[in-house]
Amino acid sequence: MNRKSALLINVLLIAAFILANCTLPRPDVTQAPQATETGTPTPEVTPTDTAQPFPTAELGLAENPLILALPPSANSQAQIDAAKVIASQFTERTGYTVVTVIPESEAALVESLGSGNAHIVLLDPYAYELAYQRGGVRAAYAVLKEGEGKYGAQFIAARKLGFESYFDDGTEMNIADAKTALAQFNDKKPCWSDETSPSGYIIPAGYLNENQIVIKPPAFVQGHPTVVRSLYASGICDFGATYIDARKFPSLEDEFPDLIEQVIVVWRIPDIIPYDVLAFSTNMPQEMRDLFANAIPAMMQTTAGKAAFKTVYDIEELQAVNDAYYDEFRTYVNISGIDLTTLVK
């Protein structure tokens, strides 16, 4: 072998060693992975690919981008495209690289917050509380519905069963404390809406437990109007809880003209149940979280930004908050004794 051939072989060996040890780009996953014929999920690769993060890369650099999570239910190209608009506006306004991903489920999203695979998220109240308890998120904005960030619930019962109302319909205010009003439910059977409803089960159960009201095994009747209908019919349960005011559900009013007189509000739970929560991962330093939080109002003031938040998250209006905003909700979820992991699917 001559000297020229030996040199060529050495060059080829070095090149092969470098290629074998380099890190391939990580795709920006903007839709749910599609299974191949072998059953292995293959993410869609888009032109905005970013490099696989290095362990020492600073968060927010192209090598270790921040991850904007879409809702697990996102299934349209319009949502995927709108999420890219939000990500690009964040990058433009903060200087940090942001990519998008669609988690498989709300539970997977909470897990991703803990593992550093999600940073900017919209969570339902239960998922937020679970992630908060695990130290994974800090609340930044409450989603508003018709200008309100929280809503209440009501305990209701059939008048003919002899229950007393401690709620004034005229002023729409309670006229006694919860302990006084709810004591009459001792050893009574409730109708709950379903096992996950905040206003039709979880928060009312928390109020009963706080006031040491011992009840009979409940009936889950699947729906707030069904709770009302069950109490009107009587014989199924003694009392129940619904959102305010499920008695005025259109089909109920048509079916039972005297329903408002026969099914009374016993006591109302104040507005402590939140809508969705826009939050940031605690893996983001406080200064970075503040920077991104401050960018959102400006983004919402642009036509493209407002439309993108509406398309991706169904957000029309936000209110700046911190974690203390959810303290009352947190308290009654905990007192209810319900395992949060069973509520976050």
Task: Using CB atoms within 10 Å of the CB of residue 322, give its burial: 0 to 12 exposed, 13 to 18 middle, 19+ buried.
Answer: exposed
Domain that holds residue 319: 25-147+275-342
Residue-wise pLDDT for 41-74, tens only, equals 333 333 333 334 444 689 999 999 999 999 999 9
Break the chain down into helix, strand, coil percent, rounded to 5. 40, 20, 35
In angstroms, the CA 294 to CA 33 distance is: 33
In angstroms, the CA 235 to CA 221 distance is: 13
Global pTM value: 0.83
In angstroms, the CA 113 to CA 130 distance is: 11
Do 257 and 285 have their domain in common? no
SS3 263: strand
In a domain, 203, yes or no: yes
In terms of Cα–Cα distance, which of 254, 251, 249 is closest to 224?
Answer: 249
One-letter amino acid for residue 249 of the chain:
F
Do 32 and 125 have their domain in common? yes
Last residue of a domain, one of 247, 273, 299: 273
One-letter amino acid for residue 111 of the chain:
E
Do 138 and 283 have their domain in common? yes
In angstroms, the CA 211 to CA 178 distance is: 7
Find the radius of gyration of the CA atoms of the chain: 26
Do 222 and 320 have their domain in common? no
What angle in degrees, to the nearest 10, is found between the helix axes of 77-94 and 303-313?
Answer: 130
Do 106 and 200 have their domain in common? no
Do 138 and 281 have their domain in common? yes
The CATH number of the domain holding residue 249 is 3.40.190.10
What is the number of structural domains in the chain?
Answer: 2
Residue-wise pLDDT for 206-251, tens only, equals 999 999 999 999 999 999 999 999 999 988 999 999 999 999 999 8
